Chain A
Amino acid sequence: MEILSANLNSCLNSRKEDGRLMTPYVMSTHSEGADFASNDTLSLSSSRALSKAFLEELDRNPGFEIGSGSSRSLSGTTEYLSNLEDTLRDFHGAEEGIIFNSGFDANVALWSTIPQIGDVVLYDEYVHASIHDGMRRGRAHTQPFRHNDCGDLRKRLTELKTDEGVAEGQKVVFIAVESFYSMDGDVVPLEEMVKVAKEMLPKVNTVLVVDEAHSNGIVGPNGSGIVSHFGLEGQIGLRVHTCGKALGSTGGRNYEYSPFLTQLTVTAVLLCNKAVKSYLINYARNAIFSTAPTFVTLAGIRAGYNLLASENGHQVCCYCTIM
């Protein structure tokens, strides 16, 4: 361990000398001041609105069992999980939805599994690290385009058309973007990108994929996202909606339930079609080899969506009361 520690400290010291060492900031020491740091943008967590909705959801399910017992691919798909995925699918206007333990997990599953050999992924140069990690494990050729630059996207698509498989529509070209970019706060020119993709590849072998991590809850009808805002549900093949940001990350406040809720609300739903959902359950390593989300995790998600979708924050469907 001493040699290992010395090696690690050598790297950390080098980062420190560059002024880049990250030393997590202890939030509770500033809990009296205003929050200009957390992703809890709707203040659902810090206001305790989510805590209340979560406890109400527990009350509606007095017989709940905490554990899911197994992975998604085996017996971990509980009725509650299946019903929740149906609710999220309907809320966001998609054909199917599949819940992952985090947005990071959803992106790794998607990008490491769905693009096939011969396919191409064009990605905005500023997309999230989890998309990079997934692509690195995947089998498709990957290539960046300049941030939010439809001209550069058009150029890359033009170049790809020299590949007969792409031009003739046998190979799929994925385009990976985010709705709001988390470090710049700017917005994807989504409608224009849809137009460019259609113009350049009229055989419709492009799949636009939008990570809605920072738009879920704060854009579109009832906060259903940027794709729903533009009514592009039918044009955008895949969407990743995380539940840990506007839907209730804790905001670092030292409230009674907040540390607990942090764990509940870091999950994500990947909106897709039946083929993609079935493929992920069969091939995504973190769906196969990781335990499915627990009941409390899922109840946290439902509580967040109840706040988005109903006038008084109560349940959005009837079956969540049955236990």
Chain B
Amino acid sequence: MATRYVVIVPSCEDERLTIGTKRRHKLERNVQLFHRLLQEHPTWQEGSKQDILSIADGATRLSGPFYCPIIAMVTRPGESDNLADAIRGAGYSINPVKYPLVPKNLERVRIMLHADNTDGQLLDLVQVIAGWLKERIE
């Protein structure tokens, strides 16, 4: 990736840290990076304005102190399967979630981020979502 992203978690390379803590820092970094890549994407900004796709409780996601790896991407009714299929089509595993697991009008694609997701995978995921969104922007 050409762009460098600044994130505010400690280094994963400190030898005194536990394996769990190193992985936790990596996970926190990935969560922040994903939100940043998504929010800086012009298609996402436009799609959010048109209420095609939104993140549940998105406003608090970059403020910490916790960086939750669960990202609920709420679609319009009847569209979560379609978005999940687009992401699967790019070779990634993903789960759409519908009623009765969530309220009827709030179906979603549930993105789980991981410590071992690479920057390239995160960028690609954002691009797939943006591509899907672009087809729906009026």
Residues on A close to B: CB < 8 A? 19-20, 25, 27, 30, 32-44, 46-47, 49, 180-187, 214-215, 217-219, 222-223, 226, 229, 251-252, 307-313
Contacts and interface: CB of A to CB of B under 8 A. Distances in A.
Given A33-B90, A180-B66, A186-B60, A19 B18 contact: no
A254 to B, nearest CB: 12
A87 to B, nearest CB: 15
Given A43-B114, A186-B60, A214 B68 contact: yes
B70 A223 contact: no
A283 B115 CA distance: 40
Contact of A46 (B94, B110, B116): B116
B70 A180 contact: yes
Given A35-B114, A41-B114, A185 B16 contact: no
B95 interface: yes
Given A47-B116, A182-B70, A311-B15, A36 B23 contact: no
Given A41-B69, A252-B93, A310-B18, 7 more contacts: A33-B92, A34-B117, A35-B114, A38-B93, A187-B66, A219-B66, A222-B21
Contacts, number: 144
Contacts of B125: 34, 36
Interface string B101-138: 11000001011111111100100010000000000000
B86 to A, nearest CB: 12
Contacts of A35: 92-93, 112, 114, 117
- The DSSP consensus for interface residues of chain B is loop
Nearest to A181: B70
A76 B87 CA distance: 46
Interface in B33-65: 56-57, 60, 65
Interface string B79-96: 001000001101111110
6 contacts: A34-B93, A35-B112, A36-B93, A38-B112, A186-B60, A223-B21
Nearest to B88: A30
Given A27-B93, A30-B88, A36-B92, A217 B24 contact: yes
Contacts of B88: 30
B1 interface: no
A33 B17 contact: no
A44 B20 CA distance: 8
Contacts of A46: 114, 116
Contacts of B19: 49, 307-308, 310-313
A36 B20 contact: no
B17 A311 contact: yes
